[in-house]
A and B are shown apart, each in its own frame.
Chain A
Amino acid sequence: MTSDNDVRERLSAVEAPPTALRVETLVAQGRRRALRRRAVQAGCGVALAAGLLIGAPTLLPRAEGPALDQAGAAPGSSAEAGPREPVADPRLPTLRCAATRLPVPAGMTSVQPAGVDPSGRYVLGNDTKMSAASTPAGKVSGVGDANPILWTDGVPQALPKLGDWVSADAVNADGVVVALSGRKDKWSDSVLRYIDGVPTKLRPTAGKWTFRSVDINARGDIIVNAIQQGDTDERVDAVMLWPAGSATATKLPLPTHAEVQDITDTGRLVGIKTTGQGVEGLSSYSWDQQGKGKKLAEPSGEHGAVSVARGDWATGNLWPSGAVARWNLTTGGVTELPVDAPANGINAKGSIASSGTVLRDDANVELGLADGVKGEPLHIADNGLVVGSPFDGSSGVITWRCDG
């Protein structure tokens, strides 16, 4: 006789074949669904809604330009085929990059990468934990704990916290780290700068602010997006700049609700501006620090959402298709890549970390396994070092050495 407990034990013992789903891809699809929903809610018409309801983009790849354009779709992509994945170009050599798992400080069990400096010497990560206020049933009611880690030439150092939690966002080639911090279970209310591993709290402009996504360039300029505390529309109210070496912030004269994603070594700001709720109100810009902006080009019918910049290049995604885009910040031109995945990182050569590989002009890239585990590339340095996390969402930081 099979008892209730037998059934329970046998069900628990079933090892299902591994899932092919990736957390990054789920997030990207969620973003696309959210934008689609907003677009439909905005009443932008039956035709657009019908187009957006298709799981894969209907746009054909733009074939002009360098070999990077060929990175994409398998023939016959359709809604049933799902998002377009990178496809190797047989005309190009294949670069195989060996993977290494970075060591983590003792006791850190939920480590995720946060960045790499352009030289590839410094890698940044955080040990993040769900808030204790979250229940076992899954209710999320607080901000989780976080502690930054800086690897120098592969050697980890847990950085000291200034605040109940600290989440590092970026590091430059001098090893200067910028981070956000906050009180227990509250959103970020402080911006930190670490020099030689020692944190200093930076003074913002007057007011009570919640901060998100802080960045630093080569000379040490620091940029952050700020939202007035108590503001419920969640859009950025101010972009603050601390020029290199300065302890005092300046509010930049950018357009209303402009949100900066990155600052280049020349001090140019790259970011997005949204008007209204639908994708049609989304566009990307490059601004100087006086607020003079240049809109980044968009293919017909698409809207650009830039996410990261380096040197002359920036990358992000196009909506509603969800395709990876690469912008040349000097010419303002855009290249649409037939890959439907988050554009995670870009280096000074224009190589893009996305969709389990590196999209390059001159080679196909195969990222090796780390201890038998596949990884998702998230950041890329100018020397070709790629930094990512385990494919299955588990704890750890993986680096890949890709020459050039």
Chain B
Amino acid sequence: MRSDQEKEYTAYVSGRLHHLHRTAYLLCGDTHRADDIVQATLTALYVQWKRVTAADNVDGYVHKILIRRYLDERRLRWARVRLGETPAHVASVEAAERGIVERDELITALRALPKGQRAVVVLRYFGDLSVEATAEALKCSVGNVKSQCARGLATLRATLQPEGQLSTGPGMRDRS
């Protein structure tokens, strides 16, 4: 890569790293695994940089790679152990800890979704991707995105109480 192209790449990564890490974290619920996913994504991006920047949508390409990395369990088999160790949080906490608890509630609720539904919800509602862009990133049909999204939201609504309380039904297990 030419040095000027590498500067472009560095500028892009500097500006997007935090957002991509958050996206990966919402998908997998584990910060170390999120780092793995983002690292693999951005390393692949470096190799393809010249070609990708000639396209219309760098972010779209990056989301595609990131989703593929997330869905590829074989590369990250160890992470299942980590997810299983996530502690359950109780509702009564100090106000200062409320943000962390709500974060964990949301992550736990997301984990209750099948991976496809989880990816659709995160890309649509955190990544602000259109239905079409989400379908392209996931390599599925628009109709499939809509139905996965509807089912995912229905499960989230059932899981997340309006005041942020976490329900504790049998559905709260990691199905990833």
Q: A4 to chain B: which residues have CB within 8 Å?
A: 125, 153
User: Which one of B4, B6, B121 has the greatest number of beta carbons of chain A within 10 Å?
Assistant: B4
Whether A393 and B14, one on each chain, are in contact in the complex, defined by CB atoms closer than 8 angstroms, is yes
Whether A26 and B106, one on each chain, are in contact in the complex, defined by CB atoms closer than 8 angstroms, is no
* Among B52-60, B66-74, B87-95, B139-147, the stretch in contact with A: B52-60
Whether A138 and B46, one on each chain, are in contact in the complex, defined by CB atoms closer than 8 angstroms, is no
Cβ-defined partner of A187 (8 Å) among B4, B32, B107:
B4
Whole-angstrom distance between the Cβ of B170 and the nearest chain A Cβ: 20
Q: Which residue of A lies closest to B104 (CB)?
A: A14
CA distance A180 to B107 in the complex (A): 48
Whether A30 and B38, one on each chain, are in contact in the complex, defined by CB atoms closer than 8 angstroms, is no
CA distance A23 to B16 in the complex (A): 10
CA distance A143 to B9 in the complex (A): 12
Mask for B1-25, Cβ within 8 A of A = 1, else 0? 1111011111111111110011001
Given A19-B35, A23-B17, A27-B10: A139 touches B157 (CB 8 Å cut-off): no
Q: B65 to chain A: which residues have CB within 8 Å?
A: none
Whether B53 and A29, one on each chain, are in contact in the complex, defined by CB atoms closer than 8 angstroms, is no
Mask for A39-61, Cβ within 8 A of B = 1, else 0? 00000000000000000000000
Q: Which residue of A lies closest to B29 (CB)?
A: A16
CA distance A31 to B45 in the complex (A): 11
Whether A31 and B4, one on each chain, are in contact in the complex, defined by CB atoms closer than 8 angstroms, is no
Whole-angstrom distance between the Cβ of A4 and the nearest chain B Cβ: 7
Q: Which residue of A lies closest to B157 (CB)?
A: A2
Whole-angstrom distance between the Cβ of B104 and the nearest chain A Cβ: 10
Whole-angstrom distance between the Cβ of B171 and the nearest chain A Cβ: 15
Q: Which residue of B lies closest to A30 (CB)?
A: B46
Whether B46 and A19, one on each chain, are in contact in the complex, defined by CB atoms closer than 8 angstroms, is no
A348-395 residues with Cβ-Cβ distance < 8 A to B are 392-394
CA distance A374 to B127 in the complex (A): 28
Given A20-B35, A128-B11: A393 touches B17 (CB 8 Å cut-off): yes
Given A11-B122, A17-B31, A128-B11: A33 touches B46 (CB 8 Å cut-off): yes
CA distance A16 to B31 in the complex (A): 7
Whether A2 and B11, one on each chain, are in contact in the complex, defined by CB atoms closer than 8 angstroms, is no
Contact size range, A = 35 or more
A1-37 residues with Cβ-Cβ distance < 8 A to B are 1-2, 4, 6-8, 10-21, 23, 26-27, 29-31, 33-34, 37
CA distance A10 to B160 in the complex (A): 10
Q: Which residue of B lies closest to A137 (CB)?
A: B57
Whether A26 and B42, one on each chain, are in contact in the complex, defined by CB atoms closer than 8 angstroms, is yes
Q: Is A144 in contact with chain B by the CB < 8 A criterion?
A: yes
Q: Which residue of A lies closest to B110 (CB)?
A: A11
Whole-angstrom distance between the Cβ of A331 and the nearest chain B Cβ: 30
Q: B59 to chain A: which residues have CB within 8 Å?
A: 137-138
Whether A139 and B42, one on each chain, are in contact in the complex, defined by CB atoms closer than 8 angstroms, is no
Cβ-defined partner of B9 (8 Å) among A8, A16, A30:
A30
Whole-angstrom distance between the Cβ of B133 and the nearest chain A Cβ: 9
Q: Is B172 in contact with chain A by the CB < 8 A criterion?
A: no
Q: Which residue of B lies closest to A393 (CB)?
A: B14
Whether B14 and A33, one on each chain, are in contact in the complex, defined by CB atoms closer than 8 angstroms, is no
Mask for B125-167, Cβ within 8 A of A = 1, else 0? 1100000000000000000000000000100110010100000
CA distance A15 to B57 in the complex (A): 26
Q: Is A158 in contact with chain B by the CB < 8 A criterion?
A: no
Q: Is B169 in contact with chain A by the CB < 8 A criterion?
A: no
Cβ-defined partner of A140 (8 Å) among B44, B53, B122, B157:
B53
Mask for B104-131, Cβ within 8 A of A = 1, else 0? 0011000000000000011001100000
Q: Is A212 in contact with chain B by the CB < 8 A criterion?
A: yes
Whole-angstrom distance between the Cβ of B12 and the nearest chain A Cβ: 7
A85-139 residues with Cβ-Cβ distance < 8 A to B are 128, 130, 135, 137-139
Whole-angstrom distance between the Cβ of A143 and the nearest chain B Cβ: 7
Cβ-defined partner of B1 (8 Å) among A12, A34, A143:
A34
Whether A212 and B43, one on each chain, are in contact in the complex, defined by CB atoms closer than 8 angstroms, is no
- Which residues of A pack against B, CB within 8 Å? 1-2, 4, 6-8, 10-21, 23, 26-27, 29-31, 33-34, 37, 128, 130, 135, 137-141, 143-144, 187-188, 212-213, 234, 392-394
> Could you name 27 residue pairs across A and B whose Cβ atoms are closer than 8 Å?
A1-B162, A2-B157, A2-B160, A2-B162, A4-B153, A7-B125, A10-B106, A10-B160, A11-B26, A11-B121, A16-B21, A16-B26, A21-B39, A30-B47, A30-B49, A31-B46, A33-B43, A33-B44, A37-B47, A135-B56, A138-B58, A139-B53, A139-B57, A140-B8, A144-B11, A393-B13, A393-B15
Give 4 A-B pairs besides A19-B17, A19-B35 with Cβ atoms closer than 8 angstroms: A4-B125, A26-B17, A139-B56, A393-B13
- Which residues of B pack against A, CB within 8 Å? 1-4, 6-18, 21-22, 25-26, 31-32, 34-35, 38-39, 42-47, 49, 53, 55-60, 62, 99, 102-103, 106-107, 121-122, 125-126, 153, 156-157, 160, 162
